[in-house]
Amino acid sequence: AQSVTQPDIHITVSEGASLELRCNYSYGATPYLFWYVQSPGQGLQLLLKYFSGDTLVQGIKGFEAEFKRSQSSFNLRKPSVHWSDAAEYFCAVGEGNTPLVFGKGTRLSVIA
């Protein structure tokens, strides 16, 4: 069965510091991987996605993620965090039009 694990429930970083959010997945085939961000009271916004090809993918708002098949990971990174990045981040796995399987999310807090 497909599953996604986000080991960190809550992370706090200082503004301007770098960020890495972890995601591990279990999937039978080559997965499609996604990172979504959810601000309080808002829907999910797609940050970036990986389907195939280059394992380092760039997304919106300065985020990037690296697919590592050997580690079954798809970690999200940002070199310099802004206060507006404070939100909940979800990693998800799926394929084509199939429903997505989400992790439980990582809440990011940004301090001055």
Partner 1 sequence: GAGVSQTPSNKVTEKGKYVELRCDPISGHTALYWYRQSLGQGPEFLIYFQGTGAADDSGLPNDRFFAVRPEGSVSTLKIQRTERGDSAVYLCASSSYGGNEQYFGPGTRLTVT
Q: Which of 11, 44, 64, 86 binds partner 1 (CB under 8 A)?
A: 44
Q: Which of 13, 22, 49, 66 binds partner 1 (CB under 8 A)?
A: 49
* Three-state DSSP class for residue 76: strand
Q: 35 near 59, Cβ under 8 Å? A: yes
- Token couple for 20: 């890495």
Nearest Cα neighbor of 50 from 74, 14, 79, 77 is: 74
For 18, residues 6+ apart whose C-beta sits below 8 A from its C-beta are 77, 78, 79, 80, 81
- Taking CB under 8 A as the rule, does residue 84 contact partner 1? no
Options 12-20, 21-29, 44-52, 73-81: segment touching partner 1 (CB under 8 A)? 44-52
Q: What is the x/- site pattern for partner 1, positions 21-40, by CB under 8 A?
A: -----------x-x-x----
How many residues sit in the footprint of partner 1 (CB under 8 A)? 25
Q: How far is the CB of 53 from partner 1 (least distance, A)?
A: 13
Q: Which of 26, 104, 109, 111 binds partner 1 (CB under 8 A)?
A: 104
Q: What share of the chain is helix, strand, coil (3-state, %, to 5)?
A: 10, 50, 40
Residues of the shown chain interacting with partner 1 in the complex, contacts defined by CB under 8 A: 4, 32, 34, 36, 41-46, 49, 51, 90, 92, 94, 96-105
